[in-house]
Amino acid sequence: MPFIQMVECYKRYKMGNTIIVANNGINFEIEKGEFVVIVGPSGAGKSTVLNILGGMDTCNEGQVLIDGKDIAKYTDRELTTYRRLDIGFVFQFYNLVPNLTALENVELSAQIVPNAKNAQSVLESVGLGDRLDNFPAQLSGGEQQRVAIARALAKNPKMLLADEPTGALDYKTGKAILKLLQNTCQDTGTTVIVITHNQAITPIANRVIEINDARVRKMQINEHPVSIDVIEW
Amino acid sequence: MHKKALNKDILKEFTKSITRFLSIMLMIALGSFVFVGLFVTGPTMRNTLLTYADKNNLEDLIVTSPLGLAMEDEQILNSVPGVEILDYSYRTDLMQRGSDTIVRAESLGKLPGYEILEGRLPAGADELALDGKMRGKGYKIGDHISFNPDKVQGSYALKNYDFVIVGFVNSPEYLMPTDKGSSSIGDGVVNCFGVIAKENFIMKNVSLARLTFSDVQGLNSYSTEYKDKMKAHSNAVEQALANRPEIRLEQYRKEGTADISTAQGKINDAEQQLSDAKKELDDARVELDKGWAVYWNLQAQNTSGQEVLASKARLGDYAKLAEAKVQLADGQKQLADAQKKIDASRTELDAKTTELQDGLDKIQQGMSQINAGLAEIEASLPQLTTGLSQVETGLQQTDAGLASLADSITLIDSQLADVNKSLAANAQNTQLLQTKAELEQKRADLVAQKTALEAKKASLQVQRTDLQNKQAEAVSKKKELQAQYTALVAQRQTTLDSSSLLTDARDKLNNSQQTLDKQRTDFNAKKADYEAALQSMHQKLLNGEADYEQGRSAYLDKLPAAQQEIEQGKTDLNKAKNDLARLKVPDYTINDRYKDKGFYQYIQNSESMDLLSLFFSVFFFLIALLVSLTTMMRMVDEQRLQIGTLKALGYSNRDVIKKYLAYGSLASLIGSLIGIVAGQKILMPVIFNAYSSNFLFKQGIPLLSPIFSVIAVLISLLCTGFVAFLTTRESLKDNVAELLRPKAPKSGNRILLERFTPLWRRLSFNYKVTARNIFRYKKRMLMTILGVAGCTALIFMGFGIRDSVGSLFVKQYGEILRYDSIMIFDENAAKEDLQALSDGLGSDSRIAKVYPARFEQGVVQIPGKLNQTVAVVVPEDAAAFQTINQLRERKSQKPITLRDGAVISEKIAMLLGLGVGDTLEFKDNDGTFKTIEIAGITENYAGHYFYMSPSYYEKIFGKTYHTNSDYISLQDHSAESVSSFSKSMLEKDVVLRMVNTNVASDLIGDLTKSLNIVVLVIVLASSLLAIVVLYNLTNINVSERIRELSTIKVLGFYPREVTAYVYRETMILTTIGIFIGYIFGLLLHSFIVTTMAPPNVLLDPAVKPASYILAAAFTFAFSFVVMLITHRRLNRIDMVEALKAVE
């Protein structure tokens, strides 16, 4: 049985008088420890999928089986617990708490999980050992995103979800971030799902899910994913 | 150019952020509600008062004197310049017949105008318009009402004392329905006033004069111009009347003295007559008593007439009788003596006769005895002779017998000898032996016979001797008897001779007895005469007695009336004397409107209201405005992007600003209008009623001054619309590109606290975050603290005022004054009356203890304020007095002992700004100024008191100390018990006045009632403000940090944790705010408490711990409510939406 399985998932938003269908019967599965890239153009419904997987949103119809449990049937409270214990989230705009230092931002998430990693060592592992006491405003975008990844990793999550993690970063920094994610997946065995609109980076994934117009158009498994270092775009 | 889209956007903004709009509106509304509501109350109160006073022609000045105004006074007043109306009026206190209602009757004149509630003013002599408040007590138009026709100062006040009620009126002079002043009759409290026609009064002097002045007509009485002009007028009147008191006092003294001497003469005459009648009766009595004494003495058996005569003083006309009694007694005695003599002689005679007879009898007896003896002897002699011969014969026979015997014996002896011979031969011869024995026997018998016979012969010889003796004796006796007999015969002869002498003597005696009997008859006749005389004397005495009795009962019948008349005369005289002694310099009271108790009190109330509004509403408004301001600024900040977009699209700055200006202005306009209307229509009437509850005014006449409304609207607009305008303009200074980028969230910073590493390290992670956040938004931190502090301060002040007022009663009448009543008695009353009073108190079982003291009243003038009445209390025993009237320092609670100098109550010291060691001047009962040194300041909350020791009193007043009152502590402290006790005491003539603590406490009760409402309003408004402020600030906090909050939600914070994450700050700030609020609150409270209390009430500035707790609890409760609201809102946050890339 796959680790993650989305079955006939529908999500509709009501915007005034019109109904926008964000997910129109999404189906896919992901195995444990995979590095997954979900790709598609803006507004295709990728973020909705990720939000549903991350327990931030719920689908109107269908099943979302995570490790055999259908989180689509979870209550708000269960979803929160699910987010708290199983999910690490990385946003495009980092969403660090500006009033907390890098270390404190990581501690913020570490302190709510029982078997969290040491915040400082996580930050060191993402290469920020010398910026522990800097506030987000004192960090560059890449550094901020590293803090965000460290914050997600400190919780020791079952899966790491990243929504356009490089969207606000320059090419080089973006690449470094993707590298960090890929290494994390390889080194810790954490399932990593990355959303991007950049087709170019699909080769680095174990599994590529293409979403277009609210549906999964294509799902492809790379037997031999390449390192990010060899890819250019 | 129509900017339809823009206008639509503006309209949409209202609906989109309706809660923000409403909250700004509500805050502004609350602010202006309180601001306007409170600010208009004071002016409205004054306006109501002044309108009423002017409409009903309340005089500008009133001149009164306790003795009325004399003609000379009228003359003086008539010439006072600038007077528009001068109206003289009569006034007297009447007691309703059959009830203890005291009506202050006034004559109807030009001033003041009465507000007619029902019916009309009196026209005829028997018509009366009654105090409007009596309508509520069952009095109706057409009712008859009669009063006791009591004399006032010796004469009747009215022609007629029976009235018909024709109307009900209110008077501008009696603004307080429950306080109509005090009276010298009944229980001393005037219940209501009444208006009657002037012609009805027959008083010598008018009671008062009312004046209005032409130059103050139409002036606002509250204006400085009015006050200044009136000051000049009242000074002028005062000057004009300055000499009058002395002159009048002299005049009254003269009149009084004359009256007294006339009255004294009358009493003396009556007393003389009475005593004459009494003397006459007494003389008669003495005369009668004398007669009776003599009579009874004469009558008595054991008194001699001599004794009676000896006591000549009591004899009088009765000498003759006494002499007769003496003569009678003498005659009686002579008769008795003579009789005695005769009786004695007779007795002697009788004794002698008896003696003679006895002698004769004895002689006779002796003779017969002797004869008998002789006869006996004669008879015995032959017998003796016979006897002798018999004995001779016997002797001869005996001798013969003896001889024969001797023969026989000899024979036998011979025989015996034979025998013995024979025997000698034959010794064994039985026969012989037998014969010998027989012979021996025979011989023995014969011997025996011979012995017996010899004995017989001897006895016969004795007999013979005896008989011979007897014979001789009888012969000698016979001879003797014969001699005796002869002697007796001689004796008998002698006796018979003396018997004839005795018979002669008896004859003589009988003669003298006859003479005596005749004398006795004479005497008895005389005695009968005497007794008849005595009888007639008795009759005379009885007649005299009857006459006396008649006279006496006639006297007694007349006596009570006469005595009463005299007693009454004396009482009147005493009273007149006392009155004269107590006659004081007649006090001319010249009162302008501000010295009218009701008027002044109401003005005072309105001014304290002004003060309260200033403090409360400004503070309140300020907070509301600050919060609205923050909200508006936040709104503009939030819409940066939109502003940028509009600008990028080419809209002018004006167009962009228009939206925020409109939003803010509309919110504040609507809000302030609601607030203004509600403040004037709801808050003002509530406060007005609270403050007017003791007054006639039921509804305020709002002073339609728009100034406060305009101020409220302007300030509101300034703080919302104008701030929006400024903020937007500030934002617009940035270039478009900058505007289109989200405003970088405030970056984090190390805070000062982190430098204290040990402390910082000890904080939990959550608190570190909170601490950082608090200092991150300094402006909001200050705002929250200030808002919370303000609300806490106001709530605290509200409860504090309640404490101060509420504790007043407990402290004043539970701790400080513990007696139930002060009984003030007439110290000039007769000694025995005072003694009776004090004895009565001693035996009254209702009384627990009595503490004698001196109680006087004085007046202290306070610059710029109403004169304050002060009670001067001089306890006889200061130590005992301390137990029922505590003297202690308020702060230290240390008791104060009375020594040299006076101990004064705290409020008067405060009003005068004096402390221990200062001197104080006051006007005593007699109107003279005295200066005392302040030795201590004692805790006291209602009224003013000067306490001093008797020695200090004597030093200051230069009088000898006497008590004139008793502080009484009763067994039963209940109001009914005290009231019935004081009523019963007032019935005594010596008791002048009773002051009950439970009556005094009414003052406090009223104050408490009106303040409670104000406090309620303050607490309610403050609570509402606290909620709105906290809500708004939290709202801003949340919306400002929505991304941060969404992030932590995504991180998996449970809702509770999310709320705690953001609300922990608010709680900490609230706590800080509460403590700062205490400080503000204490300042506010002490200010309000010192300025708001009436001049004779001290509000205790101490606040109970409960109020601290309550204020904090209220604030925390509101914070909690807001937290719940925030919690719900945070729960509903759509994280996905919030975290989406910025629009």
The pLDDT tens digits for B486-525 are 888 888 888 888 877 888 888 888 888 888 888 888 888 8
State phi, psi for B467 to the nearest 5 degrees: -60, -40
Residue in chain B closest to A164 (alpha carbons) equals B1141
State whether residue B1044 sits within 8 Å of chain A by CB.
yes
For A86, other C-beta atoms within 10 Å of its C-beta total 20
A5 in Cβ contact with A63 (< 8 Å): yes
Q: Which residues of chain B have pLDDT under 70?
A: 1-3, 153-154, 184, 186-188, 301-318, 578-586, 704-705, 741-749, 926-927, 998-1007, 1141-1143
Q: Hey, which residues 22-61 in chain A have their CB within 8 Å of chain B?
A: 51, 54, 56-57
pLDDT at position B743 = 63
State whether residue B591 sits within 8 Å of chain A by CB.
no
State whether residue A143 sits within 8 Å of chain B by CB.
no
User: Cβ B769–A112 below 8 Å, yes or no?
Assistant: no
CA B358 to chain centre: 105
Torsion angle, alpha carbons of B269, B271, B273, B275, to 10:
-150
State whether residue B778 sits within 8 Å of chain A by CB.
no
State whether residue A98 sits within 8 Å of chain B by CB.
yes
| A134: closest CA of chain B, how far (Å) | 9
For A81, other C-beta atoms within 10 Å of its C-beta total 15
Q: Which of A15, A99, A103, A149 to mutate to test the interface with B (most CBs of B within 10 A)?
A: A99
Token output for B664 = 């803010």
Of A92, A98, A109, the CB nearest to B745: A98
CA B666 to chain centre: 68
| A78: closest CA of chain B, how far (Å) | 10
| A225: closest CA of chain B, how far (Å) | 30
Q: How many Å apart are CA A171 and CA A6, to the nearest integer?
A: 32
| B772: closest CA of chain A, how far (Å) | 7
Structure confidence by residue, pLDDT tens digits, B995-1035: 777 655 565 666 677 777 777 887 888 888 888 888 888 88
Nearest Cα to B439, choosing from B420, B467, B461?
A: B420
Structure confidence by residue, pLDDT tens digits, A43-69: 788 888 888 888 888 888 888 998 888
Q: In sequence order, what are the beta bridge partners of B209?
A: B63, B88
State whether residue B1127 sits within 8 Å of chain A by CB.
no
User: Cβ A109–B749 below 8 Å, yes or no?
Assistant: no
Q: How many Å apart are CA B217 and CA B778, to the nearest integer?
A: 59
Name every residue whose Cβ is closer than 8 Å to that of residue B688 and which is 6 or more positions away in sequence: B41, B44, B45, B48, B697, B699, B700
State phi, psi for B175 to the nearest 5 degrees: -80, -20
Q: How many Å apart are CA A116 and CA A88, to the nearest integer?
A: 12
**Chain A positions in Cβ-Cβ contact with residue B1057 (cut-off 8 Å):** 112
Nearest Cα to B1107, choosing from B814, B808, B793?
A: B793
State whether residue B1040 sits within 8 Å of chain A by CB.
no
* ipTM of the modeled complex: 0.91
| B632: closest CA of chain A, how far (Å) | 24
pLDDT at position B724 = 81
B886 in Cβ contact with B815 (< 8 Å): yes
User: Cβ B748–A77 below 8 Å, yes or no?
Assistant: no
Residue in chain A closest to B1133 (alpha carbons) equals A56
A164 in Cβ contact with A38 (< 8 Å): no
Q: How many Å apart are CA B137 and CA B993, to the nearest integer?
A: 26
| A138: closest CA of chain B, how far (Å) | 9
**Chain A positions in Cβ-Cβ contact with residue B749 (cut-off 8 Å):** 135
Please provide the DSSP assignment of B289-351 as one string. Answer: HHHHHHHHHHH-TTS-HHHHHH-GGGTGGGHHHHHHHHHHHHHHHHHHHHHHHHHHHHHHHHH
Q: How many Å apart are CA B849 and CA B841, to the nearest integer?
A: 9
A210 in Cβ contact with A217 (< 8 Å): yes
CB pairs below 8 Å between A and B: how many?
88
Of B1047, B1054, B1142, the CB nearest to A80: B1054
A214 in the Ramachandran plot: left (φ > 0), alpha (ψ -120 to 50) or beta?
A: left
pLDDT at position B905 = 92
Name every residue whose Cβ is closer than 8 Å to that of residue B333 and which is 6 or more positions away in sequence: none
Token output for B576 = 């007149």
pLDDT at position B1143 = 36
| B741: closest CA of chain A, how far (Å) | 13
State whether residue A225 sits within 8 Å of chain B by CB.
no
Q: Hey, which residues 123-142 in chain A have their CB within 8 Å of chain B?
A: 135-138
State whether residue A97 sits within 8 Å of chain B by CB.
yes
User: Cβ B1136–A57 below 8 Å, yes or no?
Assistant: yes
Calculate what percentage of chain B has a pLDDT beyond 90: 6
Q: Which of B765, B772, B1046, B1051 to mutate to test the interface with A (most CBs of A within 10 A)?
A: B1051
Half-sphere exposure of B884 (CA within 13 A, CB side): 21
CA A117-A122-A123 angle, to 5 degrees, is: 145
Of A56, A77, A113, the CB nearest to B1136: A56
B636 in Cβ contact with B728 (< 8 Å): yes
**Chain B positions in Cβ-Cβ contact with residue A98 (cut-off 8 Å):** 745-748, 1044
State whether residue A112 sits within 8 Å of chain B by CB.
yes
**Chain B positions in Cβ-Cβ contact with residue A136 (cut-off 8 Å):** 747-748
Which DSSP letter does residue A164 get? S
Q: Is B968 in a helix, a strand, or coil?
A: strand
State whether residue B1043 sits within 8 Å of chain A by CB.
yes
Residue in chain A closest to B769 (alpha carbons) equals A100
pLDDT at position B308 = 62
CA B303 to chain centre: 66
Q: Which helix (H) or strand (E) holds B89?
A: strand B83-89
User: Cβ A104–B1055 below 8 Å, yes or no?
Assistant: no
Q: Is B709 in a helix, a strand, or coil?
A: helix
User: Cβ A99–B746 below 8 Å, yes or no?
Assistant: yes
User: Cβ B1048–A108 below 8 Å, yes or no?
Assistant: yes
State whether residue A93 sits within 8 Å of chain B by CB.
yes
Nearest Cα to B72, choosing from B256, B248, B331, B257?
A: B248
B904-925 in b/e burial notation, b at 16+ Cβ within 10 A?
bbbbbbebbeeeeeeebebbbe
State whether residue B1055 sits within 8 Å of chain A by CB.
yes
State whether residue A215 sits within 8 Å of chain B by CB.
no
| B15: closest CA of chain A, how far (Å) | 15
**Chain A positions in Cβ-Cβ contact with residue B748 (cut-off 8 Å):** 97-101, 135-137
**Chain B positions in Cβ-Cβ contact with residue A89 (cut-off 8 Å):** 1050-1051
State whether residue A84 sits within 8 Å of chain B by CB.
yes
Torsion angle, alpha carbons of B874, B878, B880, B882, to 10:
90
User: Cβ B772–A112 below 8 Å, yes or no?
Assistant: no
